[in-house]
Amino acid sequence: MKQHIEHIKYPTFAIDVGYGNTKSAWALGSEIKMNMFPSLAPLAANTALNDFGGGVFKGRNVITVEVDGARYEVGPGVEFSGAHVNTGRALAEDFTTSANYAALLGGALYYAGAREVERLVLGLPVHNTQKYAAHLKDRFAGAHDFGWGNVHIGSVLPLPQPLGTLISYIQQSGKAYDPDNAYLVIDVGYFTTDWVVARGYTVHDTRSGGVPGGAARIHQQVASLITADRGETVDGIERIDKAIREAKPLVYFGQNLDVGPYLAEAMALTHQPVKEIQSRVGRTDDLRAIILTGGGAQLYAPAIRAAFPLNVIHMMEAPCFANVRGFYTIGAAQQATRTA
């Protein structure tokens, strides 16, 4: 089935291709629109069996994206269960250089109908920004064909992920934001935990950083504990992630399995990344507040509160979108300056 895309030109478009989810933000009139789908990009199936059900079966909300001659399936309805299925989840340091990353980025553009983008803003983990920023600029500026015709991107602006949350927090706080004192932004992602210390719009490089270790590490430990306890391997940490987020039992060989006890034991793994933050940030008496964000924020919140008991901690509303909304704001501000 031929895929159709609207031909819309965006002055600024922001995408945060995370290890867990792919988020995007763009302006539609005076409104900022946002979208999110899992960062799963399995190879596309040759047949769509739901199409043969005479309308009885509901088709999945997915699209096919072509990258370097291969076809990948991305979108909100992508399949993530089944031991034999390669979900296309890429948990590796060089994720931004992978075909999966490109497919997810293409999918984000498709769902917004983007055929032209003057300024594309992308996020990177703090500890990988220096290493992969130039790659993103070279890889995605220019013309692309993801399988539905040419998509043109003018220029690419890579940003450390927590900076997006900082800008979103400043916008939400208004006059309550204190630019004369420092804030610590902790972004707990799916595969990495990143943080920045900033005073006003100035980042303290020596107190900022990032380490592998986010929500996925907890989910993987839960899977290992269930396997050790029950004697059968649990495949697909995405199902464990969903059970934890929705506070529902995990279907395990037809039974409803409470993951709570396994999660409680796995939470011990949150302490090491938080210790790393403490070591790099140093004394925190100068911080006006700690801003906690990211899809894994709730999992790491107890360890962070225990590590910084005297500091004020703010949990961002809709933490999954905090970075990408801030990215859009930064990109739009730059575009406005350039055209003024």
Position 55 pLDDT exceeds 90? no
Q: How far apart are CA 203 and CA 93, in angstroms?
A: 23
Q: What's residue 48's pLDDT?
A: 53
Cα-to-chain-centroid distance, residue 29: 25
136 or 238, higher pLDDT: 136
CA atoms within 13 A on the CB side of 34: 18
One CATH from 3.40.50.300, 3.40.50.10440, 3.30.420.40, 3.30.160.250 for 8-159: 3.30.420.40
pLDDT digits (tens, 9 = 90+) for 59-112: 688 999 999 999 999 999 987 654 334 555 666 788 999 999 999 999 999 999
Beta strands in the chain (DSSP E): 8-17, 21-28, 31-38, 63-67, 70-74, 114-124, 142-145, 150-160, 182-188, 192-199, 202-212, 250-252, 255-257, 287-293, 313-315
The mean per-residue pLDDT over the stretch 278-298 comes to 95
Enumerate residues 6+ apart whose C-beta is below 8 A from 180. 199, 200
Q: What is the mean pLDDT of residues 247-274?
A: 95
Residue 25 pLDDT? 98
Among the ranges given (29-33, 82-86, 266-270, 283-287), the one the predictor scored with the smallest mean pLDDT: 82-86
Whether pLDDT at 51 is above 60: no
The predicted pLDDT at position 212 comes to 85
pLDDT at 82: 40
Note the pLDDT of residue 1.
Answer: 43
What average pLDDT is seen over the chain? 89
More confident residue, 234 or 86: 234
At 1-23, the pLDDT tens digits run 445 566 789 999 999 999 889 99
Phi-psi map region of 224: left, alpha, beta (phi>0 left; psi -120 to 50 alpha)? alpha
Residue 5: per-residue pLDDT: 61
- Cβ-proximal residues to 96 (8 Å cutoff; 6+ apart), any chain: 17, 124, 128, 132, 135, 136
307 contacts 275 by C-beta, under 8 angstroms: yes
Task: Give 54's pLDDT tier (boundaries 50, 70, 90).
Answer: very low
Confidence of residue 53 (pLDDT cuts 50, 70, 90): very low
pLDDT at 169 exceeding the cut of 60: yes
pLDDT at 127 over 70: yes
Q: Where are the domains of the chain?
A: 8-159
Lowest-confidence pick of 39-48, 53-62, 178-187, 237-246: 53-62
Question: pTM to 2 decimals?
Answer: 0.88
Predicted pLDDT at 46: 66
Identify the pLDDT of residue 151.
95
- Percent of the residues in the chain that have a pLDDT greater than 90, as a whole number: 73
Tell whether the model's pLDDT for residue 166 goes beyond 60: yes
